[in-house]
């Protein structure tokens, strides 16, 4: 692994991203839009819910708006990071392969893309947590940020995997819309989860660990370590698959 190659790949991928102004505007606009909609459509009435990573018997009482903001914050990060991951891998595979032909290693290229993705996830995580601070005070701020970043990590890796698997944009976009909507945008909502008939399926979905980590850190004094480790493991599992498929696609015959 050659650091100079990764650094150059990272710098130029950042430049490409910064020149895509419409995408940048959307990245900034989407969290604000989602939060505005929640503030406009929810009330402060208390709701009761359970968290899957804590005892089934423990019930929490939180304002509806606060719960919805956390849930939507995570869904927002999942959406943005997965689309960005998809875009980074799918954008110009032929030119990437030409770079490999000229001497780059496919691992160096994808690591530089991951570096860009990780930076964006951290920035969005910070942006979302700052926005959340207007409405609630998390019990553990740093852990709450970590939970959101882990959500971005897991779904960013899913985006990289989708980009490595699907050669065309439409299939990649649909695979993301389908999973993020169902998972981060619906099933991981603790209000739904508490009453779900089949919780096993929900526990195997990508957003399970990060959503638990965020909720636990924001609303409780319980440890989020297990959820954080689970998130890292899930994301890394997806990432390894993405790397293998990407390597196969970039591989030369000689």
Residues in contact with other proteins by CB under 8 A are: 4-5, 8-9, 12, 15-16, 19-20, 92, 94-95, 97-104, 252-254
Are 63 and 45 a contacting pair, CB within 8 Å? Answer: yes
Tokens 């440890």, located at residue: 223
Least distance from C-beta 103 to other proteins, angstroms?
4
Give the nearer residue to other proteins in terms of CB position, either 11 or 240. 11
Give the nearer residue to other proteins in terms of CB position, either 100 or 215. 100
What CA–CA distance (Å, rounded) separates 90 from 96? 10
What CA–CA distance (Å, rounded) separates 38 from 82? 22
Is the Cα torsion angle 10, 15, 21, 22 positive or negative in sign? negative
Exposure string for 182-209, b = 16+ CB within 10 A, e = fewer: ebbbebbbbeebbeeeeeeebbebbbbb
Give the nearer residue to other proteins in terms of CB position, either 80 or 100. 100
Which tokens hold the place of 81?
């990071």
Least distance from C-beta 17 to other proteins, angstroms?
9
Least distance from C-beta 248 to other proteins, angstroms?
13
Give the nearer residue to other proteins in terms of CB position, either 101 or 178. 101
Give the nearer residue to other proteins in terms of CB position, either 63 or 93. 93
Least distance from C-beta 97 to other proteins, angstroms?
7
Least distance from C-beta 15 to other proteins, angstroms?
7
Distance from first CA to last CA of the chain, Å, rounded?
20
């Amino acid at each position: 692994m050659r650091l100079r190659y990764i650094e150059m790949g990272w710098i130029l991928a950042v430049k490409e991203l910064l020149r895509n102004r419409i995408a940048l505007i959307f990245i900034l606009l989407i969290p604000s839009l989602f939060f505005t909609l929640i503030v406009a459509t929810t009330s402060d009435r208390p709701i009761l819910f359970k968290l899957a990573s804590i005892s089934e018997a423990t019930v929490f009482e939180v304002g509806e708006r606060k719960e919805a903001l956390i849930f939507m914050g995570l869904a927002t990060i999942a959406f943005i990071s997965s689309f960005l991951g998809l875009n980074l891998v799918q954008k110009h595979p032929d030119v990437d392969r030409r770079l490999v032909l000229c001497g780059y290693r496919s691992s160096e290229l994808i690591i530089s893309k991951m570096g860009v993705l990780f930076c964006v996830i951290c920035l969005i995580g910070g942006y979302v947590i700052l926005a959340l601070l207007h409405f609630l005070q998390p019990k553990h701020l740093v852990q709450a940020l970590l939970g959101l970043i882990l959500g971005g990590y897991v779904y960013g890796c899913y985006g990289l995997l989708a980009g490595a698997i699907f050669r065309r944009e439409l299939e990649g976009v649909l695979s993301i819309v389908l999973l993020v909507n169902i998972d981060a945008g619906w099933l991981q909502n603790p209000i739904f989860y508490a009453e779900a008939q089949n919780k096993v399926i929900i526990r195997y979905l990508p957003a399970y660990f990060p959503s638990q980590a965020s909720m636990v850190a924001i609303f409780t004094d319980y440890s989020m370590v297990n959820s954080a480790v689970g998130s890292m493991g899930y994301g890394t599992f997806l990432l390894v698959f993405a790397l293998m498929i990407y390597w196969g696609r970039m591989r030369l015959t000689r």
